[in-house]
Amino acid sequence: MRLTARSEYGLLALIELSCRSGTGPVSARGISERQEIPLKFLEQLLAGLRKAGIVQAVRGAHGGFTLTREPRAITVLEIVEALEGPLAATSCDGGRLCGRGDACAAAAVWGRATEALRGVFSTTTLADLASTQSGYDRDPVGTTKGSEPAS
């Protein structure tokens, strides 16, 4: 599994839903416009997230998507694995496919990298990200993309 635009855009869409949690369904078109995600691609992502039980679709004139659980109960790891498959830094399988077995120095570093990613992703929730995003949205002056909000 590699982290791709699926993870990046899917996470942005879910941060949007998390920030709007409790306000009713959010349309795919609205998410697409606000997050600058191509609508057709977003619809594919939302379908996968729905299948994974992370979002639900609400039909009707005021329909859209909502989270199925509280944002604090949804981890980045769950989202990434729903969109990309099981998390692994590379396709290295510890030397079983290539025949090197335990005699591969690179396998250990890939294993540690995977565990580091899993650690960060499993301890970061949508609530954490929505809180940070809300800070950016409240105080856009003096902040730059990727920096912490001004105090």
Residue at 41 is within a domain: yes
> What's residue 91's pLDDT?
66
State how far the Cα of 132 lies from the Cα of 46, in Å rounded to an integer: 23
Give the list of residues 6+ apart from residue 65 with CB closer than 8 angstroms, or none.
17, 25, 26, 27, 28, 31, 46, 50, 55, 56, 57, 58
> What's residue 94's pLDDT?
59
State the total domains in the chain.
1
Residue at 151 is within a domain: no
pLDDT bucket at 24, cuts 50 / 70 / 90: very high
Residue at 116 is within a domain: no
Prediction pTM value: 0.83
Q: What is the CATH number of the domain that holds 69?
A: 1.10.10.10
> What's residue 59's pLDDT?
94
